[in-house]
Amino acid sequence: MIITIDGPAGSGKSTVAKLLAERLNVRFLDTGAMYRAVALAVLQGGAEESDAQAVGKIAGDADIRFDDETITLNGNGVAAEIRTPEVTAISSVVAANTDVRTRLVELQRAVGRQGSLVTEGRDQGSVVFPDAEFKFFVTASVDARARRRHRELIAGGSSLTLATVRTQLQQRDARDENRQHAPMKPATDAVILDTSDMSIVQVVNAITAMVEP
């Protein structure tokens, strides 16, 4: 059984997908972490994120794995390194690269072939797993998402203002929604959940009720 949970940054989809996978006792795949790992490889390789050919080659050469909730790049755990502001800033540019998407979609489908999975991202229901049994698109107002992201960043020691976080979130949304290849959008058969006024537990309960009626 494949369950896809797509949605924009700050919608809570990662936390929801992880909790849902634990509840259902199936694997969890964070595809955003894979795009972030490519962005990190681009930074490490000293390439310009706008150099499509160089970025495509770096993605093709990189060994990126997401196993047991651990993201590795060329054999090294990079959980913290992929969450820096530098990686976040270029991840949506790198994610618009066609070669990068082709490669990561292959890797994601290979994970899907290994058995039941809750997978989260932007295109999991629309492109990567069009035949998934259950598809959800989790969203929230830009203000609610910016507040959540700001809270997380402050807890992690950042001093960014709410206004800056909101602007960066909107820039990333715009890039993810307007790219040519696999733009962020709900699959036509996805259930859309607006979580602006819902807690994480409420969202997980709502999805569980639909998956396990």
Instruction: Let me know: does 7 contact 135? Beta carbons within 8 Å.
Output: no
Give dist(CA 196, CA 212) in Å, integer: 24
Residue entry with tokens 């994480």: 200
> Among 108, 106, 96, which Cα is nearest to 56's?
96
Please state the closest distance from residue 175 (CB atom) to ligand DC, in A. 7
Please state the closest distance from residue 147 (CB atom) to ligand DC, in A. 16
* Residue 64 bridge partners (DSSP): 73
Please state the closest distance from residue 183 (CB atom) to ligand DC, in A. 9
Taking the least distance from each CB to ligand DC, the nearer of 109 and 212 is 109
Give dist(CA 4, CA 117) in Å, integer: 8
Please state the closest distance from residue 89 (CB atom) to ligand DC, in A. 10
Could you tell me whether strands 27-30 and 64-67 are parallel, antiparallel, or unpaired per DSSP bridges?
unpaired
Give dist(CA 193, CA 182) in Å, integer: 21
Taking the least distance from each CB to ligand DC, the nearer of 63 and 152 is 152
Amino acid type, 88: T
> Among 142, 8, 197, 91, which Cα is nearest to 150's?
142
Taking the least distance from each CB to ligand DC, the nearer of 14 and 207 is 14
**Interface residues with ligand DC (CB under 6 A)?**
9, 31-32, 35-36, 91-92, 95, 121-124, 172, 176
Taking the least distance from each CB to ligand DC, the nearer of 25 and 67 is 67
Taking the least distance from each CB to ligand DC, the nearer of 57 and 181 is 181
Please state the closest distance from residue 114 (CB atom) to ligand DC, in A. 18
